[in-house]
């Protein structure tokens, strides 16, 4: 599958892994309005294409995943348009987080501001050893507005998140791994490692993976435990559950049908 976008590249391999590349390398893949509109459309394309089983999001070029929101566009915002832009960014990133197939950010360089927020909206993050993440919005007189204050806090805890947001400092890959901001650090380009992790995930029962994403998303909410039990119970009625347990008892590998 290949879709024509101006600021994105979308391609799906024979295993159903779709690579979505933010493609504005001369501006370090910064997120302008066009990128947000196209990301919104791309998520719809991904949702509607049943051949797509997983997604890797990355940035074009050697230097950056995404170096933030487009500061040129930000500079003309007023209170009303600022709130609208923040809400729109939040909504697009929410749609990425709400995908029920696994989504990995392959962080191949700078992931600052909106870039860090995009990586945080993905289910997992794998970074190159030269990556630098951070939320430097205070240096522009702003705060993160695409969900970063919420997701960074969930990812690394309140005090650490507030420190990162208030200093706006860059967090190098090794520290990002230590504080749980990224799952893994690799030498060179992280896309292949992301695909390798997805291969392992895609060997598991697909409905179980979907329900795992849904259950973890509710973590910390009042309904989290009830929701977990509901999703667990639902899985007990699937053919994949029968196959998984039978395969274990018969000492063989399971052959999941996704039903």
Catalytic residues: 117, 137
Residue closer to ligand COA by CB (options 59, 136) is 136
Residue closer to ligand COA by CB (options 17, 69) is 69
Minimum separation from the CB atom of position 72 to ligand COA (A): 5
Question: Order of strands, edge to edge, in the sheet holding 64-66?
Answer: 64-66, 110-112, 132-134, 171-172
Positions that interact with ligand COA (CB under 6 A): 27-28, 30, 67-72, 110, 112-114, 136-137
3-state helix, strand, coil in the chain (%, to 5): 50, 15, 35
Minimum separation from the CB atom of position 126 to ligand COA (A): 20
Minimum separation from the CB atom of position 257 to ligand COA (A): 45
Long-range CB contact pairs, 247-255, < 8 A, 24+: 254/205
Output the six-digit token pair for 57: 């999001």
- Sign of the CA dihedral running 212, 217, 199, 193: negative
| Antiparallel, parallel or unpaired: β 132-134 and 171-172 | antiparallel
Residue closer to ligand COA by CB (options 71, 179) is 71
Minimum separation from the CB atom of position 41 to ligand COA (A): 22
Output the six-digit token pair for 104: 């990995």
248 neighbors 241 (Cβ within 8 angstroms): no
Output the six-digit token pair for 245: 């347990």
Phi-psi region at 220: left, alpha or beta (left = phi > 0; alpha = psi -120 to 50): left
Q: Where are the alpha helices (DSSP H) in the chain?
A: 33-48, 71-74, 79-97, 114-121, 148-156, 158-167, 173-178, 191-202, 206-217, 224-236, 239-249
Minimum separation from the CB atom of position 79 to ligand COA (A): 17
């Amino acid at each position: 599958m290949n879709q024509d976008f101006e600021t994105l590249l979308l391609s799906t391999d024979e295993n159903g892994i779709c690579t979505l590349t933010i493609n504005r390398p001369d501006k370090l893949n910064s997120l302008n309005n066009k990128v947000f509109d196209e990301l919104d459309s791309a998520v719809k394309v991904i949702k509607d294409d049943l051949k797509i089983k997983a997604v890797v999001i990355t940035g074009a070029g050697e230097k950056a995943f995404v170096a933030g929101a487009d500061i040129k566009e930000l500079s003309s915002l007023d209170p009303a348009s600022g709130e609208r832009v923040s809400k729109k960014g939040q909504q697009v990133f929410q749609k990425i987080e709400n995908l029920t197939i696994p989504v990995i950010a392959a962080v191949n360089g700078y992931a600052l501001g909106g870039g860090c927020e995009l990586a945080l909206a993905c289910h997992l993050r794998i970074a190159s050893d030269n990556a630098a993440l951070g939320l430097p919005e205070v240096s522009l007189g702003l705060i993160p507005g695409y969900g970063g204050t919420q997701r960074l806090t969930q990812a690394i805890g309140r005090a650490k998140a507030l420190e990162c947001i208030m200093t706006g400092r860059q967090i190098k890959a090794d520290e990002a791994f230590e504080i749980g901001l990224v799952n893994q650090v690799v030498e060179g380009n992280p896309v292949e490692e992301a695909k390798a992790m997805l291969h392992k995930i895609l060997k598991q029962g697909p409905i179980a993976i979907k329900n795992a994403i849904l259950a973890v998303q509710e973590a910390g909410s009042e309904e989290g435990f009830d929701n977990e039990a509901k999703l667990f119970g639902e899985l007990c009625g699937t053919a994949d559950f029968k196959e998984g347990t039978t395969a274990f008892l018969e000492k063989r590998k399971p052959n999941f049908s996704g039903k």
